[in-house]
Structure 1
Amino acid sequence: MKKANQYGNESISALKGADRVRKRPGVIFGSDGLDGCQHAVFEILSNSIDEAREGYGSEITVTRFADYSIEVEDHGRGIPVDFNPNEKRYNWELVFCELYAGGKYKTNDGENYEFSLGLNGLGTCATQYSSEYMDVMVRRDGTEYTLHFEKGENQTGTKTGFKKKKYDGKDTGTMIRWRPDLEVFTDISIPESYYLDVLKRQAVVNPHLKFIFRNQTETGFTTTEFCYENGITDYVAEIAEDRALTSIQSLSGERRGRDRADKPEYKVRLNCAFCFSSSVSRLEYYHNSSWLEYGGAPDKAVRSAFVYAIDAYLKQNGKYNKNESRISFQDVSDSLILVTSCFSTYTSYENQTKKAITNKFIQEAMTEFLRSGLEIYFIENKAEADKIAEQILINKRSREQAEKARLNIRKKLSGSIDVANRVQKFVDCRTRDVSRRELYIVEGDSALGSCKQGRDSEFQAIMPIRGKILNCLKADYDKIFKNDIITDLLKVLGCGVEVKSKASKDLSTFDLNNLRWNKVIICTDADVDGFQIRTLVLTMLYRLVPTLIEEGYVYIAESPLYEITCKNKSYFAFDESEKADILKELAGKKYTIQRSKGLGENEADMMWETTMNPESRRLIRVLPEDAAATSEMFDLLLGENLSGRKEYIAENGWQYLEFADIS
């Protein structure tokens, strides 16, 4: 009998000290991968930003070293690290070794920080615990303090836990250098792009504050600086460039309130800059300097306020057509460049990674703040308000037209092929057993006739291509789906389409289980026109239903190049080598050679024997790499790369002289 695992009082244990972070980094940083490692950097940077925003220091330097260690230096007041008589412990223990401790909590003297990025007292300690090493240098009170930690433990080597010496300079501040530990994080190779993105965002929401980024390379250090004197207003101007439809509006204000009647009152400072554009859009939300990737309360407020204010203006000024539907936020956001930067003395984040906030009062205060700001703006700037109204209505009506067109396309591509929904000149087969059904895609009406007569109507269907199919490589989806040849072919296939464009993603209805065929066979003449049509069909399948190629459903039917007749018997050669072999066999006999005619001119028995009979035909299965190579070559020969095309023709044109129509 298997012994049961014991689960008693002694089974419960608690992580202590550094293990609280080192063994569960995802709890604090949201991930034990690169995202978590990056968040640790942001926690240290946040403390320096909080100091600068309180008026202590105007410059922060971040250095990325080649070994992936990081250094953050500020010119704030300097972290207190000496003995704390209230707590009867050294402050370095509280800051670097105690979770939920620090200067962000209320003291007897009031708030150390009115608006703080790092609220929870976790960041500095958690980062220290998760580091291979951390070196700290603090200058304050005429003294320079240094500390050294390794894997969560103070290894400075002194009784006090720090070394100190007299410092005569007037500058104060903190410099922290650490290397994230690969025993904690699975990846510590934070890319340069992360630092550039974060520091730029922080410069945007902290006016006048300069951020200096130093990146160590093989040849030394490169330096990049970020500073926005007017904060989010300058940033909106940078995004809009010269493409703004209206002037840039800046709104700011303060509100006090509470999330619930029994919750404490807190203060929120609201800042917003925006303009409208017909060609660019961007929405970004920040709270206490932290970029809210997922938005939360500010995003909900912006959606509500802008739709309400613009809809009211449209109604009041008779801009809507009779019985026209109301605008949506999508219509507004398509032309809106907006950045908000708010600060509050109390914040509810969705989690420690601070990517969204959930404060009910902030959402309500911001909604009212934006509504009233927009109302005043529209009254004082009638000409701009009219421009905005016209652009939003253009967006709305274009969206509705596009949606209607997409619905029509979806309807066109779906449904069974019957009397009410048939495809012109498509000839179906009798069997409903998909494992046997074959679809021949043939070139033109003449080929349709000979294939129809030469096929086995039990399991072989014919779909003629009327004229040259659209080049699907470069065409946009709207143009593609207006092409009857393509939509008819997709309808016959029955499996829908695979659309990768975000704008047209609702057209993506692909389901391989709905494919009506076991084989899709491209059958064209063995001449230049036939090759081009084959390439166009392949390109279409490669772009719109690539899974059919990947799963091996697509084939090319080889057509013979020559028919050699001897004593009422026909031999078919599919290339020059086969022709030579047949002629060698017929040496000394009388024969005639005829270059193969187009499919439409072939007799039914010849079509069956050479192209449609499963026992004697030659099919080439198209592989994904074949389709990709075809697409690339097609792009080169018929795309926009003029110089590449000239170069290719110069190098390879001689190989195709026999096909050239030169007289």
Structure 2
Amino acid sequence: MSVAVVEEYNASDLSVLEGLDAVRKRPGMYIGTTDSQGLMHCLWEIIDNSVDEALAGACTRIVVTLHADGSVEVADNGRGIPVDVEQKTKLTGVEVVLTKLHAGAKFGNSSYNAAGGLHGVGSSVVNALSSRLDVEVDRNGKTYHMAFHQGHPGVYSDPDAQHRSPENKFTKTRKGKPTELEIIGKVSPKTTGTRVRYWADPEIFNETAHFSYEQLIDRVRQTSFLVPGLKIVVIDENIEETGDESLDNFIENDVLPPSSAVVETRGWSEETTSEDIQSPVNVPGVSSSEPDSEDPKSFDGSGLILDRASGNSHRRVEEFLHTGGVKDFVDFLSSGEPVSDIWTISGSEKYTEETQSVDENGDLHGGKVSRDCVVNIALRWVNGYDTTIRSFVNVVETPGGGMHVDGFLQGVTKQVRKAVEDNARKLKVNLKDSQMKVERDDILTGLVAVVTVRIAEPQFQGQTKDVLGTAPVRPIVSRMTDRQFGEMIKGSKRGYKEQSSRVLEKIVGEMHARVQARKTKEVTRRKNALESASMPAKLSDCQPGNDDIAELFIVEGDSALGTAKAARNSGFQALLPIRGKILNVQKASMNQILANKECSAIIQVIGAGSGASFDLSQIRYDKVIMMTDADVDGAHIRILLLTLFYRFLRPMIEYGHIYAAVPPLHRIALTGKRKGEFIYTYSDDELEGRLKELDGDGVSYNPDVQRYKGLGEMDADQLADTTMDPRSRMLRRITMKEAEDASGIFSLLMGDDVPPRKRFIVDNADDFDRTKIDT
């Protein structure tokens, strides 16, 4: 029998990690991961500090620069980090903010009423996880500077300010000795701001970690929507420098920092004028900055000190400035034809919260405090089945939602169900049928919404702030949504009656579609040959067991169907005939679509449901091929079918399952030595070219060239060789962009709105080109 040996355990086995060493030991506790996600989270922490200055009314511009050496810089024209000495630690405010966990101005109630960074660890954590961090502060007419290595203050032996690097020699400040801020220049007395530049530490972040430019642009864009009037500039130096001729124009107008050239400027709202672009946005209580004539460098209004003599220019500079708030944000997020205008819900309510407050001596004491909860929501429905809900607390996105989103959805669901019950007869809803109940998914289909709240000291679930946990917010948002949205959806608010009717019809249509899709799934999946009996009688199905290569031809007309039956390979090719032009789904509700025999047959035969309930893994055919005549009517039928697929079976287009057959227009019969051979052409221009080519080569042919008016004029061999046999046919795969363009043009030319269609026809009357249409 063995006896386990227990090692001694005493105080000498304990380790005490001081300062920021704990952050470097367990970085995941503070930034989630040490891959690209964590790297981007560090950048968000620094940007959010500048945005908090804007929320406090003290900042109008932020500049984010991705330097070519891998470092990142965030500059603002806010108040600047305090440079005086904090009495408890005897350190300057800059050193306290960047080296002490849970230190900052956001634990009190005076400096920030609504801020994104609340735990007091953001800047200090970024500092701890950086191989080098430099901070510059403009205050009191001076520019202050301090440097850090892996969170420890000290001095780098840089050759000059333009060649800073974490590789340069570093001398750490002696332990226990306060680090004095270095004064490196002068600015106008009115100039204030903070610049933080840091190099992420490769000892912390793994080799795959990298900055995502697109994530940065998305974050900056959403912030510009949420803080109206705040201008944010993103400069990417990781692109080869260029001398853009337009650079001087931007410098003269002070639009951008003079060291940058513009290739793309995004985000200007329609309300923004050239005057807005050329001058800083005025914020109450913030003085404009004037250049100091004695200073060899000038201030550009963003908090950056720029050397006008440098002459450097970069191709990728993007600016963002919005004035319409969440309403503009919803408009940006919306895709597809709108069912309603953008509706807004806003207001403010107070709530009481038990919290810990810091007194004058720095001690914490519990007590009840009164808080303000400011709610700002914008929403609209669009034709489609995607749901887009973006939620924010103090401009920090909460991807996991939380109490504010729960309250919003609770209020919307309650009022929609009540409105449906009140209008049951008009909407043709049988309230006695237990299945005819609106579910939340029906309401969310096609909904685009931005839900924002601003509160002091919000409670998040974790440092990464994914979910809002402040409980009193839910009933506030719910009550506000219940009251204001209720007036809109009931149509009692002036100007909303017609819109609310369209929204309710769409939601009820989605409810019917969900119920119908459930029934369709039960009867359309082909597990054996007997199940084909549940399919439409006009379907000529293929043999079972070939789902991975099966093809469904949607054939126009009975005559073409007869030829196609003889031309197909029944082992894997199925045929579904349609009678002429199907329903214009652009104008129809889901109820009308499911009631239409042609549309419902297509959805049923494909067997994967429709709309939000569509399941791509359940499709019965690998390819769906639209086989119509090569004329104007055939083109019209294809675009009608394409609109049906785009609106209700969209994943089939996204993943490349939709095709258009390309039947020939002409057949040239060769004679002489090549008698019995045929050449097919697909356009009048191609026919003319081939005839000239044959004449030039001395090949004889029958001058009576056959022109096909429709697929039914071909015999089975001709149709198989040219259009159906995979070995010799030509197919055109429909891509997502083609579908989007087709849907947009179809909405314009066939939709309910007449003035845009008339304007389009008038504007393009002189540009008619026969090559742009099928003939």
Name the TM tier (shorter chain): 0.5 to 0.7
- Give the TM-score normalised by the residue count of structure 2: 0.56
Alignment match, 1:514:
620
Q: Give the CA deviation at 1:186.
A: 1.7
Per-residue CA deviation, residues 571-609 of structure 1 (Å, 9 max, x unaligned), is 25133769969x98999xxx997837766466xxx63x5
Superposition deviation, residue 69 in structure 1:
2.0
CA distance 1:570–1:482, change in 2 (3 Å): farther
Q: 1:252 to 1:211 in 2, by over 3 A?
A: same
1:44 aligns with 2:151: no
Q: 1:488 aligns with which of 588, 601, 607?
A: 601
Structure 2 residue aligned with 1:207 = none
1:14 and 1:469, CA in 2 relative to 1: closer, same or farther beyond 3 A?
farther
Within 2, Cα distance between the matches of 1:168 and 1:552? 63
Partner of 1:300: 406
> Who is 2:352 aligned against?
255
- Backbone CA RMSD of aligned residues: 6.4
Which string of whole-angstrom CA distances, capped at 9 and with x for unpartnered residues, describes residues 30-89 of structure 1? 465363243122343266468x48xxxx4465334574522234337x5255374x4466
Residue 69 of structure 1: SS of its match in structure 2? strand
1:35 maps to amino acid: M
2:211 equivalent in structure 1: 187
Q: CA 1:412 to 1:645, structure 2 compared with 1: closer, same or farther past 3 Å?
A: farther
Q: 1:438 & 1:331 partners in 2: Cα distance?
A: 35
Q: Give the Cα separation in 1 of the matches to 2:626 and 2:493.
A: 57
Separation in 2 of the partners of 1:360 and 1:571?
82
1:161 aligns with one of 175, 179, 187: 179
User: Is the aligned partner of 1:359 residue 2:470?
Assistant: yes
Q: Which residue identity does 2:404 align to in structure 1?
A: P
Structure 2: distance between partners of 1:12 and 1:271? 45
Q: Partner letter of residue 448 of structure 1? A: L
Find the counterpart in structure 2 of residue 137 from structure 1: 137
Q: Is the 8 A contact 1:37 1:180 kept in 2?
A: no
Q: Give yes or no for contact 1:438–1:520 (8 Å, CA) kept in 2.
A: yes
Partner of 1:4 in structure 2? none
1:343 aligns with 2:348: no
> CA 1:405/1:26 → structure 2, altered by over 3 Å: closer, same or farther?
same
Deviates more, 1:160-169 or 1:288-297: 160-169
**CA separation in 1, counterparts of 2:352 and 2:653?**
56
Contact 1:130 1:152 in 2 (8 A): yes
Structure 1 residues 430-460: Cα deviation after superposition (integer angstroms, max 9, x where no partner): 7766689776655532343455567787877
2:667 pairs with 561, 565, 568, which one? 561
Contact 1:328 / 1:396 at 8 angstroms: preserved in 2?
no
CA distance in structure 1 between the aligned counterparts of 2:412 and 2:745, rounded to whole angstroms: 49
Counterparts of 1:548 and 1:200 in 2: how far apart (Å)?
30
Partner deviation per Cα, 1:82-129 (whole Å, 9 max, x = no partner)? 374x446666544322323445557xxx99877765332212212333
Offset at 1:629? 10
Secondary structure of 2:124's aligned partner: helix
Q: 3-state DSSP class of the match of 2:405?
A: helix
TM-score w.r.t. the length of structure 1 is 0.63
Task: Indicate which of 194, 216, 219 corresponds to 1:175.
Answer: 194
Alignment match of 1:446 (pick from 551, 559, 571)? 559
1:69 aligns with 2:73: yes
How do 1:213-252 residues align onto structure 2 when only pairs under 5 Å count?
213=232, 219-220=250-251, 222=255, 225=280, 250-252=347-349
Count of residues in correspondence between the two structures: 595
Structure 1 residues 249, 114: CA separation in 2 closer, same or farther (over 3 Å shift)? closer
Give the structure with higher Rg (CA).
Answer: 1
Letter in 1 for 2:118: L
Please list every run of 5 or more consecutive structure 2 residues that lacks an aligned counterpart in the other structure: 1-6, 156-170, 237-246, 257-276, 285-322, 332-339, 357-364, 681-686, 750-759
Relative to 1, partners in 2 of residues 1:389 and 1:593: Cα closer, same or farther, differing over 3 Å?
Answer: closer
Letter in 2 for 1:649: D
Q: 1:359 to 1:535 in 2, by over 3 A?
A: closer
Helix, strand or coil at the partner of 1:147: strand
Return 274-283 or 64-73, whichever deviates more.
274-283
- 2: distance between equivalents of 1:309 and 1:538? 35
Deviation at 1:358, TM superposition (A): 0.9
**Which amino acid counterpart does residue 100 of structure 1 have in structure 2?**
H
Partner of 1:271: 373
5 Å-filtered alignment, 1:495-574, equals 495-496=607-608, 504-506=611-613, 508-511=614-617, 514-515=620-621, 528=631, 532=635, 544=649, 546=652, 550=656, 561=667, 571-574=676-679
Q: Do structure 1's residue 82 and structure 2's residue 179 form an aligned pair?
A: no
The Cα shift of 1:426 comes to 3.5
Gap runs ≥5 in structure 1: 1-6, 204-209
Distance 1:592 1:282 in 2: 60
Offset, 1:246: 9.7
Q: How much has 1:551 moved relative to structure 2?
A: 6.9
CA deviation vs aligned residue, 1:403-428 (integer Å, no higher than 9, x gap):
21454366458615868744354444
2:509 aligned with 1:401, yes or no? yes
Does structure 2 retain, via aligned residues, the 8 Å contact 1:74–1:175? yes
Aligned-partner residue type, residue 137 of structure 1: V
Question: For residues 14 and 505 of structure 1, do their structure 2 counterparts lie closer, same or farther at Cα, with a shift above 3 Å needed?
Answer: farther
CA contact (8 A) 2:662 2:731 kept: no
Greater shift in the superposed pair: 145-154 or 279-288: 279-288
Residue 99 of structure 1 corresponds to: 101
Residues 374-389 of structure 1 aligned to structure 2 (within 5 Å): 374=483
Could you tell which deviates more after superposition, 11-20 or 401-410?
11-20
3-state SS in 1 of match to 2:455: strand
Q: Which amino acid aligns with 1:72?
A: D
- SS in structure 2 opposite 1:128? helix
1:178/1:484 CA distance change after superposition, 3 Å: same
* Matches of 2:25 and 2:554, distance apart in 1: 61
Spell out, residue by residue over 1:522-577, the C-alpha distance to the aligned partner (whole angstroms, 9 max, x if none).
7667x6479748966995798557479947998767798256799xx982513376
Paired-residue identity, %: 18
